[in-house]
Amino acid sequence: MKAVLCKSYGPPESLVVEDIPSPVPGPGEAVISVKAASVNFPDVLIIQNKYQFKPPLPFSPGSEVAGIVKAVGDGVTHVKPGDEVLAITTYGAFAEEVKTEARRLLPIPAGMTFAGNVLSGTPKSSKCLYL
């Protein structure tokens, strides 16, 4: 799968797109096929190592995501593959797939689009990426 990666801290221009292995959910986790992700000010700070949360390099930035559940790990019962969901992760949303704790997943309300969900998550959402 393709992912936007931060391999070293720097400005947005330093991000790269690469093929990486698809994530596999562990117990209590789910993998989402990303349909939309928003770009927020903290994402820009994180890739420059200027934010309190510092994921290990390399990582895919992006914390607001909407998509379709691809797979779930053991113990996950409130969502199943095929469900349309939104989530606020700590990072990883700028990829074709993202793995996150299943407890972070919420069903998409009827009548809302994938993009509408990620743009309504945080007041400072500024752009939406369609994948």
Task: Give per-residue pLDDT as tens, 44-92.
Answer: 999 999 999 899 999 999 999 999 999 999 999 999 999 999 999 989 9
What's the mean pLDDT when you consider all of the chain?
89
* Confidence at 130, pLDDT banded by 50, 70, 90: very low
pLDDT for residue 111: 83
Class of residue 20 by CB neighbours under 10 A (exposed 0-12, middle 13-18, buried 19+): middle
Give percent of the chain with pLDDT exceeding 70: 88
pLDDT by residue (tens digit) across 111-122? 887 876 665 555
Please count the helices (runs of H) and the strands (runs of E) in the chain. 2, 8
Asked if the model's pLDDT at residue 98 lies above 60, the reply is yes
pLDDT for residue 81: 98
Phi then psi for 83, rounded to 5 degrees? -70, 140
| Residue 58 token pair | 């390399």
| Residue 87 token pair | 């989530």
CA separation for the pair 24, 73 (Å, rounded): 8
pLDDT for residue 120: 52
Domain ranges of the chain: 2-123
Domain 2-123 listed as CATH 3.40.50.300: no
